[in-house]
Amino acid sequence: MRKRAEVCSCRTCFQGGHEFIYRYFLLQSLKEININDKSVEIPSFGIGVVSEELNDGKIINIREDSIEHVSTYREKVLNLIEFIKANEVSPIHLIYIAGEYVDEWVNDYDEQAKLILNSPVCS
């Protein structure tokens, strides 16, 4: 299961009819985590960025990149998407800007897995 929903977009114009449209997506999927020989699937949120390069209104190039698993917390990822939109981050630069947050939030997955595995339903 992977869902993709466009959250926001921005347009950058240059001289001579050259412009870029950046589209930012919230990705939703499941991530399997193994803790103490037990496996659990956790909802995961990521970011997708698509850039459309236009010249005189015609698309001449499309680039895309994504980070599938950023956090288990939707709001964190939505806030990060707003940040990268405000800074007009392209697919090329996504990992450089968002990578620091991904590294910081990696523990979200372990925390969620432990909560699920320690819940009365899983015991």
Q: pLDDT tens, position by position, for the chain (123 residues)?
A: 689 999 999 998 887 778 999 999 999 999 998 877 888 899 999 999 999 999 988 999 999 999 999 999 999 999 999 999 999 999 999 999 999 999 999 999 988 988 887 776 554
Question: CA 76 → CA 85, 98, 108, distances in Å?
Answer: 14, 12, 11
Identify any residues that bridge with 21 across adjacent strands, giving them in sequence order.
11, 52
Name the residue ranges covered by the structural domains of the chain.
2-117
CB-CB contact of 12 with 22 (8 Å)? yes
The values of phi and psi at residue 109, to 5°, are -70, -45
